[in-house]
Structure 1
Amino acid sequence: MPTRAPGPSGGPTLADIARAAEVSTATVSHALNGTGRLGAGTRRRVRELAAALGYAAPGNGARSGPRTRTRTRALGLAVTTFEGFAWNFVEVAYYSRWLTAATAAAHARGYALTTLPAERGAEPLWHTLAVDGMLLLDSPAGDPVLRALRARGLPVVFDGRPDDPRPGDVWVDNDHTATTREVLDHLAEAGARRIALHCGYGRDFYSGAVTAAYGQWCAERGRAPLLIPFDPADTDGRAFDAAFAGPPGLRPDAVHAVYDPGGRQVLAAAARHGLRIPDALLLVCASEDPAYAEGEPAVTTVTLDPGRSAESAVSALVSLVESGQAESPGQLTVPAGLRVRASSRRPDMY
C-alpha cells in the first residue's frame, strides 16, 4: 500500500485531495503551501477542493475526528519594526487606523484578521500560526518574522517597502521622497532657513527614505543638514536642548518630525526654551492624531492615509492567497497629504 501524506487524524490526506483533483500529491502540496510553479487556476482549484473536503494542515488547529466544517479563512497582521519589544503599537494613531481599516476590509472579503502583539516577534508561533496570509507593517532589515513566513511559503503583503524585496513581492507605501520634499518646500516658502529633521529611530524603509530625501534637498540648496535623533521615551524633547539653546543664526527655525510623538516633543522643548510657534519656530509632524489639529497652535501634519493603505494591502493579500500570484507585484503607491495649519504659517505672511 503506498505511503500516504499525513493529514489530520480522521480527516482527508494529501492523497485523498490528489485523487479528487486528479493531480499528484506533490501538486497538492505545492498548491497548499504556495510553492512550486503551478498555474493560478490549478492552485485555486486544489485549494478550494481541499477546503471543501475539510482538510487542515498539521499544526493549523486541526481537530481529531471527522470535520463538520472547514477552518475559518484568516489573515494575520504584525508590526515588526521593533520586533521583540513589548510596545503597544495600537496606541499610535497610524497603526490604530490601519488596523481598523484592515479589519473591515478583511471581513468584507470573508476573512478573519488576527493581530499579533509586538513582543511575540521572535517566538516559534510564526512557524505554526494558522493563517492563510500575513500583513507585515514596517518590516525591518533581517526581520526574523519574515524569514519564518517565507520558509513556510505563506503569502505576505507589506505596508512599507521590505528591505530586500523579491520578485513577486507586493507592498503598499507612500512616495516618501516626494512627500518629504513637499514638506521642506512648504517650510522654506514660509521663511525657514535652518530646517531640522527629527528622525532616525528604527531600521524600516520609511525612516531611511525620509532621511535620504532630506539630505538630498539640503545638498541641492547648499544648506547644512541638522538631524535630531528621535527617542519615543524623550517626552520632554531633551534631544532638542543643544540645538534650541544655540545662537539665533545657528539654531533651527523649523522642524519636520517624522514620527507621531515627535510633534509633542518639539512643542515641549520649544516651550522650555521660550521659542514661540510659529513666530520663532515652524513645525510639521507626520501623524494621524486628530489632537494636533485641536491644539494651540494647531499643528501642520502629514497624513500617510493608513485607511487607504490598509484597504489596498488586504485586497492584494486576498488576491495573492486565492490566486497564488500577485496581480501587480511591486509597490502600490498611496498618496500622502500635507494638512497645513498655524504651526507652519507665520502671521506676517498673510
Structure 2
Amino acid sequence: MPAASPTIADIARAAEVSTATVSHALNGTGRIGEATRRRVRAVATALGYGAPAAGPRTRTRTLGLAVTTFAGSAWNYVAVSYFSRWLTAATAAAHARGYALTTLPADRGAEALWHNLAVDGMLLLDSPDGDPVLRALRARGIPVVFDGRPTAPRPEDTWVDNDHAATTREVLDHLAAAGAQRIALHGGFGGEYYTRAVTTAYERWCEEHARPPIPVRFDPHDGPGHAFDEPFARGAADAVYSLYDPGGRQALAAAARHGLRVPQDLLIVCASEDPAYGTAEPPVSTVTLHPELIAEAAVAALVGLVESPAHPTPGGRTVPAALQPRASSAPRTTPS
C-alpha cells in the first residue's frame, strides 16, 4: 500500500523545531531566521512532504558512516590507517548484506545535511560528548551503532569497542618490564570515550605503582614532537605510550632532536594500524585495535537494528586489542 505522507509533526521532529516553526517556514510567515526557514524546507523536501503518494520505496537500502570526534573540522580521516581499514571492512560487510554504504565528510557543511540524510541506519565512529550529529539522528529516529562506547550511553544504545583499560595496563606493564621508570602518556586530544578510558587507566596504574603521571598533550600538527621537549630535556620521561597514529613518529623525531637513543634511552609504544611502523628505524611497537573486526561487528549489529527494530540487542560488544612488541620497546640491558 502507498507510504503515508509525512506530517508537520514528522518534519518538526526531524528538524528539531516546533510544529509552529515548521508551519511558518513552509507558509512563509512568522518571524524566524532565514537559515532556519531554509533548513526546515530542506527537511520537508527530503521527507517527501507535499509530494504525490507513491508505492513502496525501491531504493537500495543504505547505511551511513561518519567520524564525529572532530565533526565540523575539515580533516581527512580516511588518511588515518585505522579509519581507512575500518571503512574498507565496513563497505565489504554492508555489501555482503545487500546494503550500500555512504561515507560522510568530517566537515559537515550545511547544517541541513544531518536532518535530511537518506540512510536506513548510521555508523558513528568516536562520537564525543554532546555530539550534534547524534542528536540530529536520534531526533529522526534513525538507528545508530557506535564504534567506541558513547560517553553517556542510553540503555538502548549499541556499540562495539575494545577493552581500553585492559590494553592500557598491558602496555604499561610491558614498558615497566622492559625497564621503564617514568612513562609518559601522549594523548588527551579527543573528547571521545577512548581517550578518557585510556587516561583513567593510566592514572590508576601510576597510582598503584607509585609512579608520577606524565601527561603529554598530543597535537596532530606537531610533526617535530615539540610537546616532548620539556619532559625530554629534564629527563622526566624514559618511555612513551602514544594514543594516536602520528604519535610514534612525533616521539621518534623528538628523541632524535634530544639525542635520545631508542630503546636504550627511550622506550616507545604507539596505538596505530600503520604498517610503516614495522619498518621504521627502529621498528616501533604498536597496539592494534583490530578495526576490521570492529567494523564487521558494527555493521552486523546495525543491520540487525534496521531489519528487526522490535528485537534490539543493546549494549557493548568487545573486540580484543593486541600489543605488537618491536625493537622500540625491547628490554634494556642496563638501567637508563
- The answer as to 2:84 corresponding to 1:99 is no
Aligned residues: 299
* Correspondences of 1:184-199 after superposition (within 5 Å): 184-199=172-187
Q: Which amino acid aligns with 1:129?
A: L
Aligned residue in 2 for 1:161:
149
Aligned residue in 1 for 2:35:
none
CA shift in 2, pair 1:254/1:240, >3 Å = same
Which residue, out of 125, 149, 163, partners 1:175?
Answer: 163
Distance 1:229 1:141 in 2: 20
What CA RMSD, in Å, does the superposition of the two structures yield over aligned residues? 2.3
Distance 2:250 2:156 in 1: 40
Q: Which amino acid aligns with 1:234?
A: D
Aligned residue in 2 for 1:45:
none
Aligned residue in 2 for 1:285:
270
Which residue, out of 222, 236, 261, partners 1:276?
Answer: 261
Contact 2:2/2:56, CA 8 A, preserved across alignment: no
Gaps of 5+ in 2: 15-43
Aligned residue in 2 for 1:305:
290
Aligned residue in 2 for 1:294:
279
Aligned residue in 1 for 2:28:
none
Q: Which amino acid aligns with 2:325?
A: V
| Counterpart secondary structure, 1:59 | helix
Aligned residue in 2 for 1:41:
none
**Percent pairwise identity:** 67
CA shift in 2, pair 1:334/1:291, >3 Å = same
Aligned residue in 2 for 1:90:
78
Aligned residue in 2 for 1:210:
198
TM-score, normalised to structure 1, is 0.81
Contact 1:60/1:129, CA 8 A, preserved across alignment: no
Which residue, out of 123, 127, 135, partners 2:123?
Answer: 135
Q: Which amino acid aligns with 2:157?
A: D
Report the CA distance between 1:168 and its aligned residue: 1.5
Distance 2:324 2:313 in 1: 30
Gaps of 5+ in 1: 1-10, 16-24, 34-56
| Counterpart secondary structure, 2:316 | strand
Distance 1:255 1:115 in 2: 34
* Correspondences of 1:304-323 after superposition (within 5 Å): 304-323=289-308
Contact 1:80/1:139, CA 8 A, preserved across alignment: yes
Q: Which amino acid aligns with 1:270?
A: A
Aligned residue in 2 for 1:76:
64
- The answer as to 2:106 corresponding to 1:118 is yes
Which residue, out of 56, 59, 74, partners 2:46?
Answer: 59
Report which stretch shifted further, 104-113 or 326-335: 326-335
Aligned residue in 2 for 1:37:
none
CA shift in 2, pair 1:112/1:277, >3 Å = same
